[in-house]
Structure 1
Amino acid sequence: MDDTLIVLRREFEAAEGSFLARLRSDLVWDRVAFSRLERAMRVACGQYEGHDGLPRWVAEGFYEVSHVVAEWTAHPNFPRPQPAHYYQDCLERMRDLADWFFRGWHAYQEPHVWRDL
């Protein structure tokens, strides 16, 4: 879990090379950085599932990512070299992970496989 928290902190703080830094500063949807963030969020969801007392910075990060990424990329001139469904799937995944994190369970019937995006 420690590695996951390190990745999440870097991503949520928009450290250099993070998905959020690339998105905000460069207007680039970095697929590798997105995958790193998404995997860390998914691991954290599984680790925190059913636990009380969530670290505030993690909760704030989940909230921000699930809302702000959609807002930043909603502008019609935001560069989208991938097919539209890729971005829609990614935004849906961010909402699903935030929902799972805050509720303590995900909405999918088990066994559920989170496919890579």
Structure 2
Amino acid sequence: MDDALALLRREFDAEEGTFLFQLRGDGIQWDRVAFTRLERAMRTVCERLHDEEKLDRWLAEGFYYASRFVRDWTSHPSFPRPEPPQFHEDCLARLEDLADWFFRGWHVYQEPHVWPDL
């Protein structure tokens, strides 16, 4: 859990080498490996904190930002979206699902639910 929180802190601060940094940095690219790290860390935090009554503001801001910014930024016509298009849409939906889970404390899928890797 500590590793996931540390990774999310770096991601949400858009530090160099993170998925969010690479989206809007000089390279403007969708890094699949970095996205997977981000998505898995977000999922881990959701799994571990789903019963918490109070959440740290930086986490809430980060989940909200990731779920909104990535869609907005990568929807620009000149952004080099990953192929195939369905992969891109699946990733955007996953970020929104994880933000929803984080804020509600539960996800909308019937258990047992397996979150497939993207």
Asked whether the two chains share a fold, i.e. TM above 0.5, the reply is yes
Partner of 1:7: 7
Partner of 1:59: 60
Cα RMSD, aligned residues only:
0.7
Report percent identity of matched pairs. 62
Matched, 1:30 2:37: no
Cα deviation, 1:29-73, whole Å, max 9, x if unaligned, reads 000000000000000000110211101100100000000000100
Partner of 1:47: 48
Partner of 2:17: 17
Structure 1 consecutive aligned stretches of length 4 or more whose deviation exceeds 3 Å: none
**TM-score between the two structures when normalised by the length of structure 2:** 0.97
Equivalent residue letter for 1:51: E
Equivalent residue letter for 1:94: L
**TM-score between the two structures when normalised by the length of structure 1:** 0.98
Equivalent residue letter for 2:13: E
Matched, 1:108 2:109: yes
Give the Cα separation in 2 of the matches to 1:68 and 1:41. 15
Partner of 1:71, secondary structure, is helix
**C-alpha displacement at 1:3, in angstroms?**
0.8
Partner of 2:93, secondary structure, is helix
How many pairs does the alignment contain?
A: 117
Give the Cα separation in 1 of the matches to 2:86 and 2:22. 21
Unaligned runs of 5+ in 1: none
Equivalent residue letter for 1:5: L
Partner of 1:111, secondary structure, is coil
CA contact (8 A) 2:22 2:30 kept: yes
